[in-house]
Every structure is written in structure tokens, then in C-alpha cells.
């Protein structure tokens, strides 16, 4: 696979770079299959990922994480609660507030589906030499750092300008 970039001429991508891209594509396939299994749309799935990571969030926190309005997030939460994927509970320290949590069954079902893959990856890494494990970790830190840098770049640019509906611009 050859890719041309502005700062360098065409050259073959390193196999690790190609495999990283394949991991990203396979992650999209996994997410699609998980959404299908859970019978939810992409936005609801993203909400579930945030809830599973945080264990509990206020509706406002979830709205911010999803980059949605609170009204749109309420609709997302309603769908997740209706399908049994999430529950609303009183906030533990502020009785005026609610928090949203993944349901125990939904969290357990997700882990049951993902854990065999996670354990296989962990077994593969642990079977490698200490030096190889360090190289893998160093490489993955570089991937994460590059992704954070690109996200920061996009976020610093602000909203994408919308085309003029009159066609003047």
C-alpha cells in the first residue's frame, strides 16, 4: 500500500501502520456487530461505551461526552432504559440529581461477548518476551499519542463552516 503525504514522497507504509489501520477498521466491524446484538443505533452505542467506562454519569455529563444537547441525550437515555441497557438512579450525594448507569445485565452481556477476544489479546502479549512486550507498549503509546494529537488538532479548529444555503459562498 502506497500513500502519498504532503511532507514526503510516496513510500510503502510500514506493516505495523497497515495493521493499526486494520485494527481500526475491525473495531468498526465489532462495534456494528455489538450494536446489532444490542438492537441499538450508533449514538446509543456510543452512550453505552461512555456509561460502561464511567460506570455512572449525570445526563449532562453524558450529553457533553456525546456532543449532544441535553434534550437529545434525554431521548438517548429513554431508548437505552426502554431496551434494558441503562437505568436511572438517584445521585448518591445530591438527591436533586439523577445519574444514568449501564444495567447490570447489559454490562455483563457486553463483557461476555468481548472478554474472549480481550483474553486472547492479553495471552498473546503475555506470551511474548519482556522486550517484545515493552516494544508493543511503546508502539501503542505512540498510536494513542498520535490520535490524541490529531483529535486536539480537529477540536482546535472549531466547527466546520456550513455551506451557504443561497450558494453565495
Q: What are phi and psi of 156, to 5 degrees?
A: -75, -20
State the Cα–Cα distance between residues 148 and 111, nearest whole angstrom. 26
Task: Examine residue 138 and state whether it is found in any structural domain, yes or no.
Answer: no
pLDDT score, position 10: 82
Domain that holds residue 74: 2-103
Number of compact structural domains in the chain: 1
- Contacts within 8 Å (CB) and 24+ apart, 51-55: 51/86, 51/100, 51/101, 51/102, 52/102, 52/107, 52/110, 55/101, 55/102
Task: Examine residue 17 and state whether it is found in any structural domain, yes or no.
Answer: yes
pLDDT per residue of the chain (169 residues) written in tens, 0 to 9: 555 555 666 889 999 999 999 999 999 999 999 999 999 999 999 999 999 999 999 999 999 999 999 999 999 999 999 999 999 999 889 888 999 999 999 999 999 999 999 999 999 999 999 999 999 999 999 999 999 999 999 989 866 555 555 544 4
Q: Which residues contact residue 125 at a Cβ distance below 8 angstroms, ignoring those fewer than 6 apart? A: 133, 136
Look up the pTM and report it.
0.80
CATH number reported for the structural domain that contains residue 75 in this entry: 1.10.10.10
Amino acid at each position: 500500500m502506497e500513500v502519498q503525504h504532503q511532507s514526503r514522497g510516496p513510500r510503502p507504509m510500514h506493516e505495523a501502520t497497515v495493521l493499526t489501520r486494520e485494527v481500526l477498521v475491525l473495531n468498526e466491524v465489532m462495534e456494528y456487530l455489538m450494536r446489532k446484538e444490542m438492537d441499538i443505533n450508533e449514538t446509543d452505542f456510543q452512550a453505552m461505551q461512555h456509561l460502561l467506562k464511567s460506570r455512572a454519569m449525570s445526563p449532562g455529563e453524558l450529553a457533553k461526552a456525546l456532543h449532544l444537547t441535553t434534550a437529545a441525550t434525554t431521548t438517548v437515555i429513554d431508548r437505552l432504559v426502554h431496551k434494558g441497557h441503562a437505568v436511572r438512579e438517584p445521585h448518591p450525594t445530591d438527591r436533586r440529581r439523577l445519574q444514568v448507569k449501564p444495567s447490570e445485565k447489559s454490562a455483563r452481556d457486553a463483557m461476555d461477548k468481548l472478554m474472549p477476544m480481550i483474553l486472547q489479546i492479553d495471552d498473546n502479549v503475555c506470551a511474548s518476551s519482556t522486550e517484545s512486550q515493552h516494544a508493543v507498549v511503546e508502539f501503542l503509546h505512540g498510536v494513542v499519542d498520535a490520535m490524541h494529537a490529531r483529535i486536539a488538532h480537529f477540536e482546535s479548529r472549531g466547527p466546520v463552516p456550513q455551506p451557504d444555503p443561497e450558494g453565495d459562498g
